[in-house]
Structure 1
Amino acid sequence: MLRLIPFFTTETQLIAALRRGESRAHKVAYERFSGRMLGVCMRYCANRDDAEEVMLDGFMRVFEKIDQFREDGSFEGWIRRVMVTESLMFLRKNKQWRQEIPIEDAVIEPDYVWADSAIHENDLLRMVNQLPDGYRTVFNLYAIEGYSHADIADLLGISEGTSKSQLSRARAILQATILKAEQEQRTNEHGTQLRKKSS
């Protein structure tokens, strides 16, 4: 007799199957969300191997704690929060995020708005990933995940002043990196135009 493989046409059906512990539901959830969740973990972890490990741990936590999802927000958003928590646990375990910086040492941000730059999103994410671990963690939590400095202080066990100073330094580094990239791009474009005129 042919055994029918369950197919989850709605998110509600998928969640119900996850709560029943169906392995097919685990596979479907992983296939549906792993790409985006790997991106979340990669924003916190220094390399892809660590990010993949954290993501797998995160999915195990999702499957174990599925009954804690109250359906008062999006399922993907809940999974994302689990992945952020797992990433922070990984950083804490490996002591990669405790970079204490006094607020008085914070770099003052320039007046221009770096976020208005025409730089490509993938380039910006690459620049964020190159930030020191503490800066990157605070920047991601504040600028991407939307946590307040008070929340970040609680999550990381640091002061609000340290959170603010790390965000300020992260932005300053990104601004400088973006300006350098834009200057290099303009120089390259100018050189290309000169070569075309001379040919």
Structure 2
Amino acid sequence: MENLSIDSIWKKCLLGDRKAQFDLYQFFSKKMYAVCLRYAKDSLEAEDILQIGFVKVFSKAHLFSENGSLEGWIRKIMVNTAIETQRKNKISFVEPLESDGVLEITNTTHSDPLHYKDLMSLVHQLPVGYRTVFNLYAIEGYAHKEISEMLNISEGNSKSQLSRARQWLKTRLLKIEALTL
């Protein structure tokens, strides 16, 4: 990428400059892929969400008001695209709390602490409804009212999903802790 500022790249994107769009994609794609991966069932779905999201970024570029950060606006598009994908796949946001599950933590040994990558792996194992609400609330910072509107569920359901997600994670973390003692 040339030594251009993101602002100048964005201005060229607004004019439909394909090179600038590529540069913007290169600049933000890793961060946005990580966002997409938190909501997707696997890496292929995350890549699809990322591509669809960037198509929306470029087709709706004129809607960016510059009141907030460009990165924040792009992130919001990625999150909304992920939620749309879940709706399209008819994902339910009301799932029973599982009592047992397979732990797939790979890098933890008796002397290793739990790493960020391991925690994110555990979050990714959450049932999709729990994971979506957990990501929106705990990571993206949305309020339950906003989440309920985004997912077309009640605020109470959002709070319940978050509570169940936390319990699910706590149970698995305690099992991991017991394995590493």
TM superposition score normalised by structure 2: 0.87
Q: CA RMSD in A?
A: 1.6
Q: Choose the corresponding residue for 1:84, options 79, 84, 89.
A: 79
Matched, 1:140 2:135: yes
List runs of 5+ in structure 1 lacking aligned partners: 1-5, 106-117, 187-199
**Contact 1:100-1:162 at 8 Å conserved across structures:** no
Quote how far apart the aligned CAs of 1:82 are.
0.5
Quote how far apart the aligned CAs of 1:172 are.
0.3
> Residue 179 of structure 1 corresponds to which residue in structure 2?
174
**Contact 2:32-2:75 at 8 Å conserved across structures:** yes
Partners of 2:71 and 2:164 lie apart in 1 by 31
* Worse-superposed segment, 136-145 or 72-81: 72-81
Q: Choose the corresponding residue for 1:47, options 42, 50, 56.
A: 42
- In structure 2, what residue type is equivalent to 1:160? E
Secondary structure of the 1:96 match is: coil
> Residue 194 of structure 1 corresponds to which residue in structure 2?
none
Partners of 1:162 and 1:171 lie apart in 2 by 14
- In structure 2, what residue type is equivalent to 1:138? V
Q: Choose the corresponding residue for 1:24, options 19, 24, 34.
A: 19
Quote how far apart the aligned CAs of 1:165 are.
0.5
Partners of 1:59 and 1:166 lie apart in 2 by 29
Matched, 1:64 2:59: yes
**Contact 1:44-1:137 at 8 Å conserved across structures:** yes
Deviations 1:32-63 (A, max 9, x none): 11111111011011111111001100000000
Matched, 1:38 2:33: yes
**Contact 2:93-2:130 at 8 Å conserved across structures:** no
> Residue 169 of structure 1 corresponds to which residue in structure 2?
164
TM superposition score normalised by structure 1: 0.79
Quote how far apart the aligned CAs of 1:131 are.
0.5
Taking every aligned residue pair, what percent have the same amino acid on both sides?
Answer: 45
Matched, 1:124 2:119: yes
